[in-house]
Amino acid sequence: MSAAVAEARDENRVARNKREKLDRIMRTARRLFESKGFEATTMREIAAKADIGHGTLFLYARRKEDLLVMMFRDEVGRAVDEAIATVPRRPILEQILHVLGALTTHHERNVALARVFVKELPFVDDTRHGVAAFMTHLFARLADLITRAQATGELSADAPPMLLTRNLFAIYFNNLQRWLGHEPCGPAERDRWIRDALELQLRCFRKTVRQRRGSR
C-alpha cells in the first residue's frame, strides 16, 4: 500500500469518526431536549450522555443553541428535499405551500423547541452551522418553481424569481413566528394565515385568463 493511499484512508477514517461522533451528539441532544426540556438541559449533560469530553463537545458546538440550530438544519433539510422531490402538478401557490409545509410539519413535532430555534436563527454564527447554504438551496428550488410558473404563463415575468421567492419566504416566516409567538392558534387557522398571505403576494403577478390568451 502506497503512502498516499494510506494517508487517504486515514483521512477518511478521521472524517467518518467525526461524523459519527456528531451524529451521536445530535441524537443525544434531541433526546434530552425532548425529555427534560431545552432550558433544563446542559452542555455538560449532553457531553456525558454522548460519552465524550466536555472539551470535545465544545469543538462541535459552543452553546446548546448551536446544537439546536444544527439539528434543525439537518432535519429540515431532509424534509425539504423530500418535499421538493414530490411537488404536485398544481398551481404555484399549492407547490410553494407543499414545500414550506414540510418546514411547518417539522416544527409541529416539538413546538417548544421550534420557538427556541426561530428565536435563535437570526443570530446564528453561520461560519459554523451552514444555515446560509441551506437557505440558498431552499430559495433556489422555490425560485425554480416560480420560473416554471412564469414559463407556463401562470405568473407574469415582471418579478425576478429570486426576489419573489425571498418575499414569499419572509411572509411565511413572519406567520410562522406569529404562530409560535404571541398569537397561539390551531393548525387550521395558522395554515389559513399563511395561505392568505402568500396568495395576496402571488396575486400581484398572476396572469388573468385574458392575459394568458393574449400572450399566445
Enumerate the domain spans of the chain: 1-60, 64-214
Residues 6+ apart with CB under 8 A from 137: 77, 80
Residue 95's pLDDT is 97
Task: Give residue for cell 387550521.
Answer: 188
Residue 61's pLDDT is 87
Contact 88, 94 (CB under 8 A): yes
CA pair distance 126, 33, nearest whole angstrom:
22
Any idea of the CA torsion for 53, 54, 55, 56, to the nearest 10 degrees?
50
Fold of 64-214: Tetracycline Repressor; domain 2 (1.10.357)
101: left (phi over 0), alpha (psi -120 to 50) or beta: alpha
CATH 1.10.10.60 holds for 1-60: yes
Residue 203's pLDDT is 94
Amino acid at the residue 148: R
Q: How many CB atoms lie within 10 A of CB 35?
A: 9
pLDDT tens sequence for the chain (216 residues): 566 555 556 557 777 888 899 899 999 999 999 888 888 999 999 999 999 998 999 988 888 888 888 888 888 889 999 999 999 999 999 999 999 999 999 989 888 888 888 877 766 665 566 778 888 999 999 999 999 999 999 999 988 999 999 999 999 999 988 888 866 678 889 999 999 999 999 999 986 544 554 555
CA pair distance 200, 216, nearest whole angstrom:
26
Q: Provide the b/e sequence for 37-65 (b: ≥16 CB within 10 Å).
A: ebeebebebbbebbebeeeebeebbeebb
CA pair distance 25, 32, nearest whole angstrom:
11
Q: Extract the C-alpha cell encoding 183.
A: 398569537
CA pair distance 135, 71, nearest whole angstrom:
15
